[in-house]
Structure 1
Amino acid sequence: MGRMTTKLDDLVSMKVTVDVADQIAEVTLLGPGKGNAMGPDFWRELPLVFTALDADDDVRAIVLTGSGANFSYGLDLPAMMPTWAPLLAGDALAAPRTRFLDEIRQLQRSVNAVAECRKPVVAAVSGWCIGGGVDVIAAADIRLASADAKFSVREVKVAIVADLGSLQRLAAIVGEGHLRELAFTGRDVDAARAERIGLVNEVFPDQVAVLAAARTLAAEIAANPPLVVQGVKDVLGHRREQQVADGLRYVAAWNAAFLPSEDLAEAAAAFLERREPKFRGR
């Protein structure tokens, strides 16, 4: 690794390798939750990784992928539950709501680090990519998928308004109508549908093929003048990221105000008890 990324050797939730010859970094999600679920270690390490790669002159492009069969099951609910416990207890006053607002904003900053990294990020997705996984790939520049990939903006299914970037970034990627369908229903979308709506650029036969394609694409990007490539990314993201920032502030405040509900408590209980939730709109 380059000088700026040697401090990433002790990561828990992801692995970073840098091919200095091709000037490509590869970030592999490791979990440690099942299906690379995103717990506290992930949210702490994600901005460290992308800030370091942004500053490393040996890196001109980044491939982001998941270990094992899946990209990510999304938020690790059991691991994150202690943060939510005061809200689920009912009658949450200003102090726990303010702490929760701070938590949302910190998670948002973690995802933003992917979008704000000056080096183009190519996501290679296999298997499930759910909830927070979609937030992360929406912050990437280019998305490729294997034929077995499945995507879901799942937050509505657990009584949450998605608040880490999917609602702010996906409209520019898939269009407003498709985004509303995905966000209102929480349904699963296969790789073929994802390609049709523009969520992914191309679908490949399997995990080996999609990772090879992502590496080839990253190498093609890395062969171009690096400052110009970074300039293109900066110009393309200028107006969109301003709108995203405004939307993220709004949804963070909205969730701090309205997320506590009987439906959220029911979603958490149903998840832990492995049963279907019964939502009552309270």
Structure 2
Amino acid sequence: MTYRSTDYQAFELAVADHVAEVTLIGPGPGNAMGPDFWSELAVIFTELDADPDVRAVVLTGAGKHFSYGLDLAAMAGDLSAVLADGAKAKARTDFHGMVRRMQSAITTVADCRKPVVAAISGWCIGGGVDLITAADIRVASTDAKFSVREVRVAMVADVGTLARLPQIIGDGHTRELALTGKDVDAARAEKIGLVNDVYDDRDAALAAARATAAEIAANPPLVVQGIKDVLDHSRSAQVNDSLRYVAAWNAAFLPSLDLTEAVTAMFAKRPPVFTGE
């Protein structure tokens, strides 16, 4: 079976030879993650999980970049209530629910019984890192750059990175990336285990991801699913507990003058000045 779907706003989906290819397409610049992304991601991966013809998934981004991460401009309306002065229980409860829904969208990638191979080129920032940590295997092109950027915009990463990244690259590297918000190039990403391999360019990285997915798809599908289930079993409870905790933490403590300053500075294209308030 071969088919291609353009029914989505933030993704393109194609399936051929038992491999699905999910491509981020925006619509924001750099495949930024706006409302369409968060609503469609869960739908797509739930369908792929249930599709008996799909045995593996390639996840990539259209154009030069994998993803700039959360589309703050498009999501501003969802954030405005909790950022208002004196936000009360209703606003914080609604925000907590939104975070949990976003977490659940990323978790559908991690929980998909069909292994996911991510091919990353260009920038992979913030929410982009949340997304690739939910994949089973990651490959990159030499121009790939990664950043757990939330700390630089006065946020605690809350959609999956802090829950899953330590199990991929270890505690020390996770703390370095999350506490500094620094940019990491493909060579460093490979060295610390964030990606399995690095290739010369986007086309080569995508070809490698497709080849790996095809290798997986050629194996007995129930056994592949069993391997993934066993590997995921021991860490699932820890990940879920971390996600619940950070959602509650941000609902309580995210609003701050520093966050307002970070957003204002970003739109004004100037460095932020944080005061710890």
| TM-score using structure 2 length | 0.98
User: Residue 56 of structure 2 aligns to which amino acid in structure 1?
Assistant: A
Q: Distance in 2 between matches of 1:97 and 1:59?
A: 39
CA RMSD, 1 decimal: 1.1
- For the residues of structure 2 that align with 1:260 and 1:90, how far apart are their CA atoms? 8
Q: 1:205 aligns with which of 182, 187, 200?
A: 200
Offset at residue 87 of structure 1 (A): 2.1
Which of 228, 231, 237 aligns to 1:242? It is 237
1: distance between equivalents of 2:208 and 2:240?
31
Deviates more, 1:80-89 or 1:90-99: 80-89
Deviation at 1:88, TM superposition (A): 2.0
Matches within 5 A, 1:76-87: 76-87=71-82
Structure 1 position 246, deviation (Å):
0.4
| Partner deviation per Cα, 1:129-174 (whole Å, 9 max, x = no partner) | 0000000000000000000000000000000000001001010100
How many Å apart are 1:274 and its aligned residue? 1.1
What is the deviation of 1:242? 1.2
Letter in 2 for 1:55: A
Aligned position for 2:92: 97
Secondary structure, counterpart of 1:28 in structure 2: strand
Within 5 Å, which residues of 2 pair with 1:168-247? 168-247=163-242
1:23 maps onto 2:18 in alignment: yes
C-alpha separation in 2, matches of 1:271 and 1:86 = 19
Counterpart of 1:11 in structure 2 is 8
Counterpart AA for 2:179: F
Offset at 1:241? Answer: 1.4
Task: Write out per-residue CA displacement over residues 72-128 of structure 1, whole angstroms, 9 at most, x where no aligned residue.
Answer: 000000000111111222111111000000000000000001001000000000000
CA distance in 2 between counterparts of 1:87 and 1:99 reads 8
Distance 1:9 1:191 in 2: 31
Moved segments of 4+, more than 3 Å: none
CA distance in 1, matches of 2:168, 2:97: 28
SS of alignment partner, residue 81 of structure 2: helix
| Unmatched tracts of structure 2, length 5 or more | none
Q: How many residues align?
A: 277
Q: Percent identity?
A: 65
The alpha carbon displacement at 1:9 in A equals: 4.0
Normalised by the size of structure 1, how large is the TM-score? 0.97
1:134 to 2:150 alignment? no
For 1:10, give the aligned amino acid.
D
Cross-structure match for 1:49: 44
Aligned-partner Cα distance in 2 for 1:111–1:278:
32
1:220-272 C-alpha deviation (Å, 9 max, x unpaired) = 00000000000100110012111100000000000000000000111111111
Q: Matches of 1:57 and 1:264 in 2, distance apart?
A: 45
